[in-house]
Amino acid sequence: MSKFVKFEDINNIRIITFDRPDKKNAFNEEMLTTVSNLIDETRDLLEIRVVIITSKCEKIFSSGYDISSDNMDSKESLLNIHILDESKDKHPLMKISEVISESPKIIIAAINGSIFGGALEVMLNCDFKFFSKESIFCMPPVKLGIFYNYFGLRNFINKIGVSNTKKIFFTGDKFNSDNALEMNLFDFIIDKDEVLNESIKFGEKISQNAPLSLASIKKSINTFESSQKVDKDEYEKIKKTIIKAANSSDYIEAQDAFKLKRTPKFTGE
Q: What is the CATH number of the domain that holds 174?
A: 3.90.226.10
Of 59-63, 210-214, 252-256, which range is least confident? 252-256
Give the span between the Cα atoms of 154 and 168, in whole angstroms: 13
Look at the chain and report how many structural domains it folds into.
1
- Whether residue 182 is contained in a domain is answered as yes
- Whether residue 69 is contained in a domain is answered as yes
Model confidence at 72, in pLDDT bands (50, 70, 90)? very low
- Segment 126-141 shows an average pLDDT of 95
Give the span between the Cα atoms of 170 and 163, in whole angstroms: 10
Model confidence at 152, in pLDDT bands (50, 70, 90)? confident
CB atoms within 10 A of CB 238: 17
- Segment 11-38 shows an average pLDDT of 94
- Whether residue 269 is contained in a domain is answered as no
70 vs 23: which has the higher pLDDT: 23
Domain membership of residue 256 as a residue range: 5-260
- The CA R_g of the chain, rounded to the nearest whole Å, is 18
Closest CA to 244 of 81, 83, 69: 83
- Segment 238-265 shows an average pLDDT of 78
pLDDT at 237 over 50: yes
- Whether residue 24 is contained in a domain is answered as yes
Q: Can you give the pTM of this predicted structure?
A: 0.85
Percent of residues, the chain, with pLDDT higher than 90: 61
- Whether residue 73 is contained in a domain is answered as yes
Looking at residue 77, its pLDDT comes to 64
* Element housing 207 (H / E): helix 195-207
- Whether residue 13 is contained in a domain is answered as yes
Looking at residue 18, its pLDDT comes to 96
pLDDT at 71 over 60: no
pLDDT digits (tens, 9 = 90+) for 170-213: 999 999 999 999 999 999 999 999 999 999 999 999 999 999 99
Looking at residue 159, its pLDDT comes to 92
- Whether residue 98 is contained in a domain is answered as yes
Please tell me whether residue 242 adopts helix, strand or coil conformation.
helix
E strands along the chain, which residues? 5-10, 13-18, 50-55, 60-62, 106-111, 114-116, 128-132, 136-138, 174-176, 188-190
- Whether residue 265 is contained in a domain is answered as no
264 vs 20: which has the higher pLDDT: 20
Model confidence at 70, in pLDDT bands (50, 70, 90)? very low
